[in-house]
């Protein structure tokens, strides 16, 4: 079906879905940490816009609270915390080259196709918007994982972790118009605590291995050596 035959709301949701997918790819291929954090903030902003759109069109007031929480946590607090960490660690000048960028980007693309494939069985029970929204959010989750695998910096792992949360949140907002309030508050609380814990961990890792390169965390083995 043609995009122009849909109503404005559907078109807007589809566009934000596409943009959120795009930000995931941008983060995946990014070799500078500060830019990665910036794109992550952008993804949070897109998520906030989506939430406000859904809240407005369904007239669901508690979604405005979710939008506020997303804005505060994912656009302001977490990027600010990560940015500060990068600058204190003096890592903003490092260019961390990905060893096999082409493979990783191709892997990312296949993950996106895979997400559509996985969710294809539900296509006849739902609209095209839902399928796209769910598939994009699943691929954001998977791309977040790939990001964590591809990068060695603890900061990049946190960005990956939080962008997985973004993907899940997008699914909850678009596919189901938001989870019940108590669950959403609980999830936001967990994200906040996780962000604070990550901050504490950076301190610990730094004092223990004097770097934030998690490849150096390699003392424990599955079997004795």
Site residues for another protein per CB under 8 A:
118-119, 121-122, 125, 130, 134, 137-138, 141, 144-145, 148, 154, 157, 161, 164-165, 167-168, 171-172, 175-177, 179-183, 186-187, 189-190, 193-194, 197-198, 200-201, 204-205, 208-209, 214, 217-220, 222-224
Cβ atoms within 10 A of the Cβ of 58, count?
Answer: 12
- Closest separation in Å from C-beta 224 to another protein: 4
- Closest separation in Å from C-beta 189 to another protein: 7
Cα(196)–Cα(78) distance, rounded to whole angstroms?
9
25 or 198: whose CB is closer to another protein? 198
For every residue of 7-65, DSSP letters joined together read: -HHHHHHHHHHHHHHHHHHHHHT---HHHHHHHHHHHHHHHHHHHHHHHHHHT-THHHH
95 or 166: whose CB is closer to another protein? 166
- Closest separation in Å from C-beta 164 to another protein: 5
Q: Are 138 and 18 in contact (CB under 8 A)?
A: no
- Closest separation in Å from C-beta 4 to another protein: 27
80 or 189: whose CB is closer to another protein? 189
- Closest separation in Å from C-beta 93 to another protein: 25
- The single residue listed with the structure tokens 């990550």 is 198
2 or 223: whose CB is closer to another protein? 223
Alpha helix (H) residue ranges in the chain: 8-28, 33-58, 62-70, 78-88, 101-119, 128-150, 154-176, 181-209
42 or 146: whose CB is closer to another protein? 146
């Amino acid at each position: 079906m043609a995009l122009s035959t849909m109503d404005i709301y559907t078109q807007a949701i589809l566009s934000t879905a596409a943009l959120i997918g795009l930000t995931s790819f941008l983060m995946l291929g990014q070799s500078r940490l500060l830019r990665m954090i910036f794109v992550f903030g952008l993804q949070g902003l897109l998520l906030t816009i989506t939430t406000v759109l859904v809240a407005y069109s369904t007239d669901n007031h508690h979604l405005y609270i979710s939008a506020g929480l997303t804005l505060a946590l994912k656009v302001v607090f977490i990027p600010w915390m990560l940015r500060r960490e990068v600058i204190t660690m003096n890592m903003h000048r490092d260019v961390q080259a990905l060893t096999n960028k082409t493979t990783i980007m191709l892997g990312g693309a296949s993950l996106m196709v895979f997400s559509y494939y996985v969710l294809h069985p539900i296509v006849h029970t739902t609209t095209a918007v839902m399928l796209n929204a769910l598939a994009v959010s699943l691929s954001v989750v998977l791309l977040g994982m790939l990001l964590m695998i591809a990068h060695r910096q603890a900061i990049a792992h946190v960005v990956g972790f939080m962008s997985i949360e973004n993907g899940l949140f997008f699914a909850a907002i678009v596919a189901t118009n938001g989870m019940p309030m108590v669950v959403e508050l609980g999830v936001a609380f967990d994200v906040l605590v996780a962000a604070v814990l990550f901050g504490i961990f950076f301190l610990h890792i730094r004092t223990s291995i004097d770097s934030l390169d998690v490849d150096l965390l390699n003392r424990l083995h599955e079997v004795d050596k």
